[in-house]
Amino acid sequence: MSRWLSTRISWCPVNLGMRGLTNNYLSCCVNTLLQTLSATWELAELLEKWDTAGVEEATRNVPLQLKRVLVAMRDDRGRTDPHDDFLRCLDRNRFRLYVQHDADEVFLSILNFIQQQINDRAMALQIQDLYKISVETILQCLECKSIQKRTSYLLSLPLHIKEDRNTLEDCITSFFQHQELRGIDCCFCAQCETKTPSKQGVKLVSLPRILCILLKRFRNTRGFTRKLDCAVAFPENFDFSEIVKEAFCADFAQNDCRYTLYAVVVHCGCTTGGHYTAYVRSKVDRRWYYADDSRVQLASWEEVRATYGGGSRGTAYMLMYRRDSNEEGRQPELSG
């Protein structure tokens, strides 16, 4: 058998830390997310350190089953279906088998299950911090000019896309633009003691190690949901601070806001039916691979770029970026 990836069977060299996953119970959505989580080695390393002794109801514990499946995915000599227990665990937590699910919803639910079910609070917070985007929401009354501020966090950055050609930079800029709230969108002002027109904005308090970006391709209009296949161009590398300098809080303290893409969740089809696949970048050889359930094969950046959209092919739905660090080195920047 060749050292490289087979396009027909669920196999991949163990030294690349990748393997295909069979589509059991309409599991392409979970299969795809497991490929991206496996490529998030920071998460796998934290789970490896977790002492699971004494964990109750193991078959219902999502972080425990996730830890096991990520270990199994790095071993091509293991079970044919290393993710079967994880799928059944999600089913016991009300993510039913034989049902198509939204990838972003499942991703956020897995992170929430980790917070709820892991018995090491410090470990749970470390995992949350991997993805935690801390933001400050600013609401200014347009009548009395009073300002209300509230700090919260997101685990993914949901970006609105226009029904035209988009760039990731434009979508991020739009997310941080101030919006006026009038009419039915008016907010209550404590100083005016009534609902008044307001101006709302979001400022960044801190950025995470892993930046998950959701491209909001599904739009509901008058009770009907449709998918937007319009193009969204995204770069392999970008510097957050060069896109939205005005979006940072005054006390934002991070020096390096440069990010490198390492995984793309792709959706094919429409709102009533579809299929998920993923492009992931190997930590070992830094090359791109395409995972379509049990098939894993070498891919190119040009193939990843083909998921921008604007045609009949699969479109990028979720983007996973990793903040650069000195020890990993800076990859050459490729045009988006």
Positions annotated as catalytic residues are 28, 275
Helix (H) and strand (E) counts for the chain?
9, 18
3-state secondary structure of 334: coil
User: Are the beta carbons of 119 and 54 closer than 8 angstroms?
Assistant: yes
- What are φ and ψ of residue 131, in 5° steps? -110, 0
Q: Which residues pair with 289 in a beta bridge?
A: 280, 298
Torsion sign, CA atoms 220, 221, 225, 228: negative
How far is it, in rounded angstroms, from Cα 121 to Cα 326? 29
- Residue whose tokens read 């935690």: 132
How far is it, in rounded angstroms, from Cα 225 to Cα 229? 13
- What are φ and ψ of residue 178, in 5° steps? -70, 145
In a 13 Å sphere around the CA of 187, the CA atoms on its Cβ side amount to 19
User: Are the beta carbons of 14 and 75 closer than 8 angstroms?
Assistant: yes
Question: Furthest-apart CA pair in the chain: how many Å?
Answer: 74
Query: Could you count the other beta carbons within 10 Å of the beta carbon of residue 49?
Result: 10
Query: Could you count the other beta carbons within 10 Å of the beta carbon of residue 189?
Result: 20
CA 108 to chain centre: 8
How far is it, in rounded angstroms, from Cα 208 to Cα 324? 11
98 residue type, one letter = Y
Token reading at 102: 């939204």
